[in-house]
């Protein structure tokens, strides 16, 4: 038996032992009846192995514990109580339906977090996934210019590949992950109409149970995926997409809230990331206003995080050069440590 025939027999065995939908199993076996030769055969083998890697029946078990979810939200996010309450209400409904085992008829609303850069849209999505114990994968939409990047490219074309949605499912290896559709308002203008069309299909429970990726060329059930979306604003999002989303406005942080986040979350993380022992950096309270607004008003915390990261790197260099801490940042020396 030559190597090609051996490969065919091995693939047939894999198809038999993998729990595939009957129509998919039949499709793959039919393809192996006339497998072609050379590069055509190699592409077929690659395609079948990719299909066999998909989690047709593999799901993760949700953690249905509201107190745990509350603790995770409080651990990961300072303040934002009204937002946390809204998320806990959302999780409560999801938990009730799951406990009643009526998830087949229930479809969780798709949350859209809308707000300025740095207000915590993405991190909130990760906290929801952590609360449920689900895998999460992020698909960035910023600059996305062609719907085939989501939908996939047919195998009849030389550049054939799966779209980002099916790639995400293959990566996490479960069919019920959280998929974060990040910055859906920032798609490139030339691809906006097509991409919004794909989003409608993804987010509509009447359609996403039979989502067709052009590379796969058969329907894949996405109904158990928990989609979460983010946007800076909703002006560039199609009305048909907005109809399938539940927008939640992210509040801007006050200076007082940002100072607490800086002290208790961002500075400890920046120290750790820079390899500095905890407590080695001490920032005087009257210095924080200069750290919070080095370039004027900013409703988010991303620039604050970058400032503290830069400050920590400067101190890391001083440690390597022989200086010993703790390092106190005061009004007299703060300009030496602020990133330029």
**One domain, residues 93 and 234:** yes
How far apart, in whole angstroms, are the C-alpha atoms of residue 71 and residue 265? 15
Say if CB 292 and CB 262 are below 8 A apart: yes
Amino acid 125: pLDDT:
94
Residue 61 lies in a domain: no
Closest to 141 (Cα-Cα) out of 185, 198, 200, 111: 185
**One domain, residues 228 and 273:** no
The CA-atom distances, in angstroms, between 309 and each of 36, 270, 301 are 56, 5, 12
Residue 22 lies in a domain: yes
**One domain, residues 210 and 260:** no
Residue 287 lies in a domain: yes
Residue 126: phi and psi, rounded to 5, are: -65, -35
The DSSP symbol for 205 reads: T
Q: Is the pLDDT of residue 3 over 80?
A: no
Question: How does the average pLDDT of the chain come out, rounded?
Answer: 89
**One domain, residues 291 and 276:** yes
Residue 60 lies in a domain: no
Host domain of residue 22: 3-53
Q: Is the pLDDT of residue 296 over 80?
A: no
Mean pLDDT throughout 148-168?
92
Amino acid 138: pLDDT:
96
Q: Is the pLDDT of residue 226 over 70?
A: yes
Residue 300 lies in a domain: yes
Q: Is the pLDDT of residue 340 over 90?
A: no
How far apart, in whole angstroms, are the C-alpha atoms of residue 47 and residue 42? 9
**One domain, residues 35 and 184:** no
Residue 264 lies in a domain: yes
pTM: 0.83
Q: For residue 219, what are its two tokens?
A: 């329907």
**One domain, residues 244 and 260:** no
Residue 59 lies in a domain: no
**One domain, residues 225 and 277:** no
**One domain, residues 213 and 263:** no
The tens digit of pLDDT for each residue in 238-264 reads 999 999 999 999 887 888 888 898 998
Mean pLDDT throughout 254-282?
90
Say if CB 195 and CB 240 are below 8 A apart: no
When pLDDT is cut at 50, 70 and 90, the band that residue 103 belongs to is: low
The DSSP symbol for 190 reads: G
**One domain, residues 318 and 244:** no
Could you tell me if residue 59 is left (phi over 0), alpha (psi between -120 and 50 degrees) or otherwise beta? Answer: beta
Closest to 227 (Cα-Cα) out of 203, 210, 246: 203
Alpha helices in the chain (DSSP H): 3-17, 22-31, 38-53, 66-76, 81-99, 121-132, 148-151, 164-172, 192-203, 239-242, 255-261, 267-273, 288-292, 302-320, 334-337
**One domain, residues 237 and 296:** no
Amino acid 2: pLDDT:
63
> Percent of the chain scored above 70 by pLDDT?
95
Residue 58 lies in a domain: no
| Domain CATH code at residue 143 | 3.40.50.300
* Structural domains in the chain (count): 3
Closest to 52 (Cα-Cα) out of 36, 75, 69, 29: 29
The tens digit of pLDDT for each residue in 105-136 reads 566 779 999 998 888 899 999 999 999 999 99
Of 220, 249, 278, the domain-final residue: 249
Say if CB 44 and CB 27 are below 8 A apart: no
Amino acid 153: pLDDT:
93
The tens digit of pLDDT for each residue in 45-86 reads 899 999 999 999 999 998 889 999 999 999 888 888 888 898
When pLDDT is cut at 50, 70 and 90, the band that residue 299 belongs to is: low
Of 249, 284, 312, the domain-final residue: 249
Amino acid 1: pLDDT:
44
Q: How many residues does the chain have?
A: 340
**One domain, residues 153 and 286:** no
Other beta carbons within 10 Å of 202: 22
Q: For residue 91, what are its two tokens?
A: 């999780």
**One domain, residues 231 and 290:** no
Of 218, 249, 280, the domain-final residue: 249
Return the higher-pLDDT residue of 283 and 116.
Answer: 283
Amino acid 323: pLDDT:
92
């Amino acid at each position: 038996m030559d190597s090609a025939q051996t490969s065919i027999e091995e693939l047939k065995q894999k198809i038999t032992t993998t729990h595939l939908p009957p129509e998919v199993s039949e499709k793959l076996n039919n393809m192996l009846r006339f497998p072609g030769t050379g590069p055509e055969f190699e592409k077929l083998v690659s395609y079948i192995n990719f299909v066999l890697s998909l989690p047709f029946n593999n799901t993760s078990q949700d953690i249905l514990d509201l107190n745990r979810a509350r603790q995770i939200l409080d651990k990961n996010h300072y303040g934002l109580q009204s937002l946390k309450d809204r998320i806990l209400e959302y999780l409560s409904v999801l938990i009730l339906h799951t406990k009643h085992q009526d998830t087949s008829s229930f479809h969780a609303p798709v949350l859209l977090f809308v707000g300025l850069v740095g207000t915590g849209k993405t991190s909130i999505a990760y906290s929801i996934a952590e609360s449920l114990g689900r895998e999460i994968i992020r698909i960035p939409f910023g600059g996305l210019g062609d719907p085939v990047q989501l939908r996939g490219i047919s195998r009849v074309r030389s550049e054939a590949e799966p779209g980002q949605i099916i790639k995400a499912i293959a990566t996490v290896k479960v069919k019920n992950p959280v998929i974060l559709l990040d910055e859906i308002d920032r798609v490139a203008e030339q691809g906006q109409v097509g991409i919004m069309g794909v989003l409608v299909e993804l987010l509509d429970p009447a359609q996403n149970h039979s989502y067709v990726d052009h590379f796969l060329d058969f329907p894949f059930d996405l109904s158990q995926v928990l989609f979460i979306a983010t946007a800076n604003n909703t002006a560039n999002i199609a009305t048909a997409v907005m109809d399938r989303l539940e927008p939640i406005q992210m509040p801007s942080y006050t200076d007082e809230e940002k100072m607490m986040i800086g002290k208790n979350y961002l500075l400890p993380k920046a120290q750790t990331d820079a390899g500095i022992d905890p407590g080695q950096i001490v920032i005087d309270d009257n210095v924080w206003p200069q750290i919070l607004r080095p370039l004027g008003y900013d409703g988010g915390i991303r620039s604050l995080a970058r400032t503290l990261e830069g400050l920590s790197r400067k101190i890391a260099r001083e440690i390597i050069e022989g200086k010993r801490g703790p390092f106190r940042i005061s009004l007299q020396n703060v300009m030496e440590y602020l990133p330029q």
